[in-house]
Structure 1
Amino acid sequence: MIQRALDILDKNFYKVDVLDGVKKVQEIFYQNNIECSAVYDNKRLVGVLTLRELGIANPNRIVADVMTNKYICVGSETSTWEIKNLFDFNQNIDVIFVEDNSKVVGVITKSQLKIELGRHIDLLTGLYKSDYLFYNIYIV
C-alpha cells in the first residue's frame, strides 16, 4: 500500500524561536530524544535545526546563528514516493516538514524515509515491489 506523509511522519519534533539559546535547545533535544526542530519567527516558519547543527554549535549562540533554511514543506496527503523524489532532487535537504491546514504537524527525515521505503524493496533482488510499480504505472 502506498503510504502518505501523514502515515509516516514523526510528531516528535520541537518548535523553537529564532532567539532561543542553543544551550537550552541542546538540552531539550537530548532529554526528549528529538532529531530536529522547526524554527519560528513570530509564528512564521523560517528554518530547521537538526542534531547535526546543534552538535557543532557554540552553546552561547542563539538558534538564528546555527539554523538552516534548507527544508521543504509538503501536504499531509503527499505519497512517500513523491517525498523520495523530493529528497533525490534536493540532495542538500535533510528534513521535510508535513503541513496539514497550513500548520506543521510533523517531520520526515531522510533516514526515516529510507526505513519506510525499505519495506517496499525486495532484499534479495533490490527491485521494487508491486506497490511501487503500481504507483508509477497508474498514478504518475
Structure 2
Amino acid sequence: MKKKKVFIVLLSSVIILIGGYFGWKFYQNTTRTIIPVDDLDKVSIKKENNQLILVGKAKLDQFERVSNYGAVQINDTLYIYVMKTKSLIKEDGIKENITKISVSDSPVSPEKIYLVSGKHIEVKEKDKPKMNYMDVTRYSKKRELIE
C-alpha cells in the first residue's frame, strides 16, 4: 500500500511539472510581442570581422526578456525587429549577429539599416495560426541605425 502511494505521488509530481513547463512555454508564446523602437534607444549596429552585430539594451518591465530577432533585406534596405516575451528573470541585453539571421534575396549588401516596430508587422491568420508571418514593410515606427 505504501509503495502504491509513493508511486502515485511521484507520478502526480511528474505530470504537474511537465504540464507546468508546457503551460509556461505556451504562455510565453502567446505574450511574445515586438519591442517598440522607442524602448530600443540604446541599440546600435557595430561591424566586427565583416559581420553586422546588433548590440545594446532594451527598456523592459520586470519579468520580461528579449526573445527573438529578425532581419529582412528588401533591395538595399535591411529592416530589423526585436521581440520580447514574459520570463521569470529580466534579460534586457541585446547582442545578435544580424548577418547570420538576415533573410535576403538581394546580392548587394544593405546601404540603409532600420530598426522597426509596430502592431501590424506580425501578420496573424485567424483561421490558420501556423500560417502567421512577419511583414517588416508594415511598420509604424522606424529608426535608422548607423554603423
Greater helix share, structure number:
1
**TM-score (norm: length of structure 2):** 0.25
**TM-score (norm: length of structure 1):** 0.25
State which structure, 1 or 2, has the greater radius of gyration over its C-alpha atoms: 2
